[in-house]
Chains A and B, each alone.
Chain A
Amino acid sequence: MSGKTTREILEDPDFRKLYRQRRTIAWSLTALQLALFFGFVALVSFDKPFLAQRLGPGSTTTIGIPIAVGVIFLSWVLTGIYVRWANTTYDGLVGKVKDKIGN
């Protein structure tokens, strides 16, 4: 690593910012994903009748179907949110720090 020492990089305000941001975003999204999936698992375990309800009178579909498909779809959406953030904001900050330390 040219130019700056490890300590100097760690104390660089931009590095601290990107470190904090990524931690917050990664763990928040992880928490969301865990809540999404284990919420679904809890419904399967403890409230089967809820999932068995019809969507409406005359409907053949149960609530469980859109919920399960929703968990699949939202899992993908969450990865999309992360990629979008990381490829723009985060990589921007990384570039800035790298410029500063001459790497």
Chain B
Amino acid sequence: MPQAAQTALGTLNPIAVLFFVLFVISTLGITYWAAKRTRTTREFYAAGRSITGFQNGLALAGDYMSAASFLGIAGIVSTKGYDGLIYSVGWIVGWPIIMFLIAEPLRNLGTYTFSDVVAYRLVARPIRAAAAFGSLVTVLFYLIAQMVGAGTLFRLMFGLPFEGALVLVGALMIAYVLFGGMIATTWVQIIKAVLLLGGATLLVILVLSKFGFSYGALFGACQELYPEQNVLAPGAMYTDPLDTFSLALALMFGTAGLPHILMRFYTVPDAKEARKSVFYATGFIGYFYILTVTIGFGAMAIVGMNKITGVDAGGNMAAPLLAEALGGSVFLGFLSAVAFATILAVVAGLTLAGASAISHDLYVGVIRRGESNEREEVRVAKAATVGLGVAAMLLALAFKGQNVAFMVGLAFAVAASANFPALLLSITWKNLTTKGATYSIYTGAFLAVALIVMSPTVWVDIFHKTGKAAVLADIEKIDTELAGKLSGTSDPNALADAQAAADAARTAANARMPRAIIPYKNPGIFSMGAAFLVAILFSVIGRPEPNRDKRFEDEKIRTYLGIGAE
């Protein structure tokens, strides 16, 4: 097994700093340029609808390819093999759903946020309030996960203090969005997507060159190193079919309910460009996931599981360690800077989506009842950007040292349960009522959050962390004592007694193990199912919307022909 050589991870890498400074200078330059073009709401939220399908495809990919998917998938694959591959599949399959069901109606009916679409033929105020709530919950969990990830990552990569990384990331993301709005955010995404795709491609070429450019040889090397684990087949992560199915639902439909992704469809001039952008995005993202999986197997074969989990138990450092093993500190520095840029771009997109929910949906839609002017709305959006950015920094600080990996999953679960059902039904189902849509959003959001809090991931691993650790320590103690007794005697009766006593003690200890209220880790099937049920139930039993047929017909013409679309 390849063993712990030294790593430059955790020390300040001058190459990384150089690349990072270059990235920051160029993106701030773009922000300065964009600032002169960010005066109206159309410019702030939607880049003046001036982005082409290809550019938006790259930007969508940039928004979507988070550090969690880059470092996370490579990490899971490098330590668990095939189980990680299932995540990459789950993270791509939502895109066709966006294409077939969401993209066109979204582009043709809305102006800036997905709640424009849900509110199109329903009563605007309650819908706006609910949709803004759904958006903000999704955005906040996602933001916290990314920010805490950034803090941890930079401590691991550069030895920077957690708080320093938070301030750096927070200040930059606020600057991009505040001054450059959607134009700057889009170009930050595009640059980041190109860097990430380029860096990952280079890493994969280096990996494959070690194996004669043969995947068979790479897989063979992995199997030879870990013959006792079946690294090329699904294993321990997917034992409960219901839980697996629930995860699959959240990954697939969560993608179609992410506010920062949906918002990007308003940056292109029309539905045709919107379609093209999904096609490009799906291609880039699919290619990227195949790269990350290759990087994961490469890290398993070249770096080795022990060293990967030795640096970070979650395996998140697999890709950087592999870069170091293959390209020395220069490549490690480059890839670290790319990881930083990745996080930065994603948090900027999230901040913009969150700020839009506050200004466009909550302030203009709910507080001002739709009566507001351009200047006021842009001012509120900018204030919301600063507020949200600071809130994200403080929340990330509060979660310092916590394992927040579950929060990305939670963001997807909320997006799939709160945002997606209401959005889909508002596009496709004539009988949907304001009450149905509103209750559906709240039900989906509360249920997704509540079920995850009561699940083993939070209830046991976070709330009863010490209880669980104590029980595990007790069991370990019982096992050591038993081993001592067994080696101290050869009397068969004494041996059997010791064995029986140890078994009883172990059972007793296990009984003290804290249990989750809900045994399932993934809430998707329940929370999303409930959201659909509630929407249908309240729409059917309640009073139909006034002018239901007429409004649905108008919506139909606009959806299908794009007449009247902005």
Contact = CB atoms under 8 A, between A and B. Distances in A.
A65 B230 contact: no
Given A10-B557, A29-B100, A61-B215, 13 more contacts: A1-B564, A30-B96, A30-B100, A41-B244, A62-B82, A64-B85, A76-B92, A76-B279, A86-B104, A86-B272, A86-B275, A87-B272, A91-B272
A83 B279 contact: yes
Contacts of B230: 52
B286 interface: yes
Interface of B: 82, 85-86, 88-90, 92-93, 95-97, 99-101, 104, 215-217, 219-220, 223, 230, 232-235, 238, 241, 244-245, 248, 252, 272, 275-276, 278-279, 282-283, 286, 289-290, 550, 553-554, 556-557, 560-564
Contact of A1 (B216, B290, B563): B563
B232 A62 contact: yes
Contacts of B550: 6
B89 A68 contact: yes
Contacts of B282: 75-76, 79
A78 B100 CA distance: 9
Given A41-B244, A68-B85, A51 B233 contact: yes
A79 B562 contact: no
30 contacts: A6-B550, A6-B557, A7-B553, A10-B556, A29-B100, A30-B96, A30-B100, A38-B248, A40-B89, A52-B234, A61-B232, A62-B232, A64-B85, A64-B234, A65-B85, A68-B82, A68-B86, A71-B93, A72-B92, A73-B286, A76-B282, A76-B286, A79-B95, A82-B99, A82-B275, A83-B275, A87-B272, A87-B275, A98-B561, A103-B563
A55 to B, nearest CB: 9
B216 A79 contact: no
Nearest to B550: A6
B233 A62 contact: yes
Contacts of B245: 38, 41, 45
Residue of A9, A75, A94 with highest tally of chain B CB at under 10 A: A75
B96 A78 contact: yes
B53 to A, nearest CB: 9
Contacts of B233: 48-49, 51-52, 62, 64
A-B pairs with the 8 shortest C-beta distances?
A52-B233, A45-B241, A60-B220, A62-B232, A37-B93, A60-B219, A26-B100, A41-B248
A45 B248 CA distance: 11
B560 A79 contact: no
Contacts of B88: 68, 72
B561 A33 contact: no
B234 A75 contact: no
Interface of A, helix, strand, loop or mixed by DSSP = helix
A7 B423 CA distance: 25
Interface in A7-61: 7, 9-10, 15, 18-19, 22, 25-27, 29-30, 33, 36-38, 40-41, 44-46, 48-49, 51-52, 59-61
A36 B279 CA distance: 18
A30 B230 CA distance: 33
Residue of A6, A19, A46, A68 with highest tally of chain B CB at under 10 A: A68
Contact of A75 (B92, B223, B554): B92
Contacts of B96: 29-30, 33, 75, 78-79, 82
Interface range on chain A (Cβ under 8 Å from partner):
35 or more
Given A76-B283, A79-B95, A37 B216 contact: no
A94 B220 contact: no
A19 B245 CA distance: 33
B427 to A, nearest CB: 11
Contacts of B553: 6-7, 10
A72 B89 contact: yes
Contact of B216 (A38, A60, A64, A98): A60
B234 A51 contact: yes
B239 to A, nearest CB: 9
Contact of B252 (A37, A46, A48, A103): A37
Contacts of A83: 99, 275-276, 278-279
A79 B99 contact: yes
A22 B85 contact: no
Contacts of A68: 82, 85-86, 88-89
B260 to A, nearest CB: 20
A69 B287 CA distance: 10
Nearest to B276: A83
A52 B232 contact: yes
A29 B238 CA distance: 27
Contacts of B223: 60
B64 to A, nearest CB: 14
Nearest to B560: A19
